[in-house]
C-alpha cells in the first residue's frame, strides 16, 4: 500500500517498522474527532478560496460516508497506513479522487492530532465532571438518610472523637467538588485550537484559524505554531487531575473495605457488588472497592509515563509524542468506569448505625470534651490536657470507660469538675456540643446538606 508521504523514499518500509510505529490500533478511537476536525478544515479552506466550494462539499460528503462506515463497523483500519488520520484520508481519496488530496492543505498530522486529542479530552472531561456531580448527589442523599447517625472519627486509624456519619460523607462531597473544579480549570487550557499551525512554522496560505476554531467549538486558538504542536501540558494537567480523583476514590475504597470487615461491621456491601471465594464458602469479598484501589496505581503510572515521555523532547513535534494517547485514554476510561460503578454500589450499601454508635463511645473518644470542659471552667488548656490524660490512664488501669466514672472519681483529678461534666461524656452530647464552623454539629451539617442541595441543582 502506497504511503501518503512516500515521494522522497526509494525503498518500502520494513514490515517490522510498520508494526512498531503504527498507532491506529489505539488512536482509531479518535475517528469522530478526526472527521469533525477535517470537516471544519475543509469548510475553512473553501471559505478562504484555497479550494472550491464544490471540492469542499465533495470532501465533506466523503468524510460523512466514512464516518457512517466506521460507525456501523464496515470500515477496515490498516496498520500499514500508520494512524487514524492517514487511514481516513486514504479512504477519502480513494472514494472521491483528486479533491480528497486537497484536504491536507495547510495542515500537518502534528496539528491534526493535537486538535483531535483536545477534542477528545473536552468530551471526556465533560463526562467525568457529570459523573462526579452524580456521585456528590448520591453521597448527599445518603448523608440525609443517616444525618443523625453517630460514628467514631479516626486519626492514625485510631478512634479519636465522635462524629456524625453524615459529616464524614460530606468530606467526600468536598473532595469531589474540588475534583470538578480542577477539571473545569483544566478544560480552559484544553479548549484551545491548534489546527492550522501545520508542522511547526505555520503556512503561507491565507487560512482563517479562528473560523476553524469556531466551527469546532473551541474558545480560542493557540498563539504560537511551535507550541501548538509540541504542547501536551493540557494532557498532563488532565492526568494530574485524574490521579487526584483516583486518590480520593482509593481512600474511600480503603474505608469501605475496612468498614465491611467483621472487625468493624460498619457497613454491608450489596451482594451485587461483592464476590466469593473459590475455596472458602463463607467469604464475601469487596472486590469492586479493591479493584478501584488497585486501578489508582495505573492512573498514577499514566501521569508518570507522560511526564517522562515529555521531559527531554526538543521543540517541536517528536514521534515520542505518539505515546501520549494510551495514558490519556486509559485514565479517562478507568476513571469513568470507577465513578459509574462506585455510584451504583454506594446506593446499595447498608450502614450499621447501631454498631457505629456503639463503638463511637469506646476508646475514650470524649476525652477532648473533658479537656474543653475544664477550659470553660478556667483551666489553661495544657493543664486541662494533662488532667484529662491522667483520667484516661486511670480508666485504663481500672478497665473503665469515661462514662463509667463517678463524680467522686473525677473530682479526684480536679476540683473544678462537678456534676455538669455528664453533659460532655456521651458521644451524642459531644457531637451536639461542637460549635465551630464546619464542625460535626448536627444543625451545621444539616445546613451544609441543604446548601449543597441548592448548589448541585
Q: Is residue 40 part of a domain?
A: yes
Q: Choosing from 25, 94, 220, 277, which is the catalytic residue?
A: 277
Percent of the chain having pLDDT more than 90? 92
Helix (H, G, I), strand (E, B) or coil at 170: helix
Directed axis angle between helix 109-145 and helix 442-456, to 10°? 140
Same domain, 292 and 195: yes
pLDDT (tens digit per residue) in 261-271: 999 999 999 99
Q: Which of 105, 122, 151 is the last residue of a domain?
A: 105
Same domain, 336 and 233: yes
Same domain, 147 and 289: yes
Same domain, 346 and 446: no
Same domain, 63 and 115: no
Percent of the chain having pLDDT more than 70? 98
Q: Which of 358, 384, 399 is the last residue of a domain?
A: 358
Is 385 annotated in the active site? no
Helix (H, G, I), strand (E, B) or coil at 351: strand
Whether residue 34 is predicted with pLDDT greater than 70 in this model: the reply is yes
Q: What is the pTM of this model?
A: 0.93
Residue 4: pLDDT band (50, 70, 90) is low
- Count of domains observed in the chain: 3
Question: What integer best gives the mean pLDDT of the chain?
Answer: 95
Q: Is residue 285 part of a domain?
A: yes
Residue numbers of the domain that contains 370: 363-451
Residue 5: pLDDT band (50, 70, 90) is low
Q: Cβ distance 442 to 148 under 8 Å?
A: yes
Same domain, 284 and 402: no
pLDDT (tens digit per residue) in 338-389: 999 999 999 999 999 999 999 998 889 999 999 999 999 999 999 999 999 9
Q: Is residue 3 part of a domain?
A: no
Is 156 annotated in the active site? yes
Q: Is residue 431 part of a domain?
A: yes
Q: Any idea what the CATH number is for the domain that residue 244 is in?
A: 1.20.200.10
Q: Any idea what the CATH number is for the domain that residue 400 is in?
A: 1.10.40.30
Residue 7: pLDDT band (50, 70, 90) is low
Residue 360: name the closest of 166, 142, 154 by CA.
154
Q: Cβ distance 334 to 295 under 8 Å?
A: yes
Q: Choosing from 74, 76, 156, 278, which is the catalytic residue?
A: 156
Q: Is residue 456 part of a domain?
A: no
What does the alpha-carbon distance between residue 407 and residue 414 come to, in Å, rounded to a whole number? 11
Q: Is residue 457 part of a domain?
A: no
Averaged pLDDT for residues 64-91: 96
Q: What is the predicted pLDDT for the residue at 321?
A: 93
Residue 170: name the closest of 206, 201, 205, 146 by CA.
146
Same domain, 60 and 195: no
Same domain, 144 and 207: yes
Same domain, 338 and 444: no
Whether residue 13 is predicted with pLDDT greater than 80 in this model: the reply is no
Same domain, 353 and 232: yes
Residue 219: name the closest of 316, 126, 317, 118 by CA.
118
The lowest-confidence range among 6-20, 152-166, 225-239, 297-311 is: 6-20
Averaged pLDDT for residues 230-256: 98
What does the alpha-carbon distance between residue 100 and residue 42 come to, in Å, rounded to a whole number? 10
Same domain, 401 and 315: no
What does the alpha-carbon distance between residue 231 and residue 222 come to, in Å, rounded to a whole number? 10
Same domain, 33 and 141: no
Q: Any idea what the CATH number is for the domain that residue 82 is in?
A: 1.10.275.10
Q: What is the predicted pLDDT for the residue at 16?
A: 82
What does the alpha-carbon distance between residue 148 and residue 160 come to, in Å, rounded to a whole number? 19
Residue 1: pLDDT band (50, 70, 90) is low
Instruction: State the SS3 of 5-50.
Output: CHHHCCCCCCHHHHHHHCCHHHHHHHHHHHHHHHHHHHHHHHHCCC
Q: Which of 105, 124, 159 is the last residue of a domain?
A: 105
Q: Tell me the sheet residues that pair with 162.
A: 152
Residue 320: pLDDT band (50, 70, 90) is very high
Q: Is residue 8 part of a domain?
A: no
pLDDT (tens digit per residue) in 189-233: 999 999 999 999 999 999 999 999 999 999 999 999 999 999 999
Residue 19: pLDDT band (50, 70, 90) is confident
Q: Is residue 439 part of a domain?
A: yes
Amino acid at each position: 500500500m502506497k504511503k501518503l508521504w512516500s515521494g522522497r523514499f526509494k525503498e518500502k518500509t520494513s514490515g517490522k517498522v510498520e508494526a512498531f510505529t503504527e498507532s491506529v490500533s489505539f488512536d482509531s478511537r479518535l475517528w469522530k474527532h478526526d472527521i469533525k476536525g477535517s470537516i471544519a478544515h475543509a469548510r475553512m479552506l473553501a471559505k478562504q478560496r484555497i479550494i472550491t466550494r464544490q471540492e469542499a462539499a465533495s470532501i465533506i460528503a466523503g468524510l460523512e460516508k466514512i464516518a457512517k462506515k466506521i460507525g456501523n463497523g464496515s470500515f477496515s483500519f490498516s496498520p500499514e497506513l500508520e494512524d487514524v488520520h492517514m487511514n481516513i484520508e486514504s479512504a477519502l481519496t480513494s472514494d472521491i479522487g483528486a479533491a480528497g488530496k486537497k484536504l491536507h492543505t495547510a495542515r500537518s498530522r502534528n496539528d491534526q492530532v493535537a486538535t483531535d486529542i483536545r477534542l477528545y479530552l473536552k468530551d471526556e472531561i465533560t463526562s467525568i465532571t457529570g459523573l462526579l456531580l452524580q456521585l456528590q448527589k448520591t453521597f448527599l442523599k445518603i448523608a440525609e438518610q443517616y444525618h443523625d447517625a453517630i460514628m467514631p472519627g479516626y486519626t492514625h486509624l485510631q478512634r479519636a472523637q465522635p462524629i456524625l456519619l453524615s459529616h464524614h460523607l460530606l468530606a467526600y462531597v468536598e473532595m469531589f467538588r474540588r475534583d470538578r473544579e480542577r477539571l473545569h480549570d483544566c478544560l480552559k487550557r484544553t479548549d484551545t485550537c491548534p489546527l492550522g499551525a501545520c508542522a511547526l512554522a505555520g503556512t503561507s496560505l491565507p487560512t482563517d484559524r479562528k473560523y476553524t476554531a469556531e466551527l469546532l467549538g473551541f474558545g480560542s486558538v493557540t498563539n504560537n505554531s511551535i507550541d501548538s504542536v509540541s504542547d501536551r501540558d493540557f494532557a498532563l494537567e488532565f492526568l494530574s487531575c485524574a490521579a487526584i480523583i483516583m486518590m480520593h476514590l482509593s481512600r474511600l475504597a480503603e474505608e469501605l473495605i475496612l468498614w465491611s470487615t467483621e472487625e468493624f461491621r460498619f457497613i454491608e456491601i450489596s451482594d451485587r457488588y461483592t464476590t466469593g471465594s473459590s475455596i472458602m464458602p463463607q467469604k464475601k469479598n469487596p472486590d469492586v472497592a479493591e479493584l478501584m484501589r488497585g486501578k489508582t496505581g495505573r492512573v498514577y503510572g499514566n501521569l508518570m509515563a507522560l511526564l517522562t515521555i515529555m521531559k527531554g523532547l526538543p521543540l517541536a513535534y517528536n514521534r515520542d509524542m505518539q505515546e501520549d494517547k494510551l495514558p490519556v485514554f486509559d485514565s479517562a476510561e478507568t476513571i469513568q468506569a470507577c465513578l459509574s460503578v462506585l455510584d451504583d454500589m454506594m446506593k446499595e450499601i447498608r450502614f450499621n448505625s447501631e454498631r457505629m454508635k456503639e463503638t463511637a463511645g469506646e476508646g475514650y473518644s470524649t476525652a477532648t470534651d473533658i479537656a474543653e470542659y475544664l477550659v470553660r471552667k478556667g483551666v489553661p488548656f495544657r493543664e486541662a490536657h494533662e488532667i484529662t490524660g491522667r483520667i484516661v490512664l486511670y480508666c485504663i488501669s481500672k478497665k473503665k470507660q469515661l462514662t463509667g466514672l463517678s463524680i467522686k472519681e473525677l473530682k479526684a483529678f480536679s476540683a473544678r469538675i462537678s456534676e455538669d461534666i455528664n453533659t460532655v461524656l456521651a458521644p451524642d452530647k459531644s457531637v451536639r456540643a461542637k460549635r465551630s464552623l464546619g464542625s460535626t454539629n448536627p444543625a451545621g451539617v444539616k445546613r451544609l446538606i441543604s446548601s449543597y442541595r441548592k448548589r448541585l441543582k
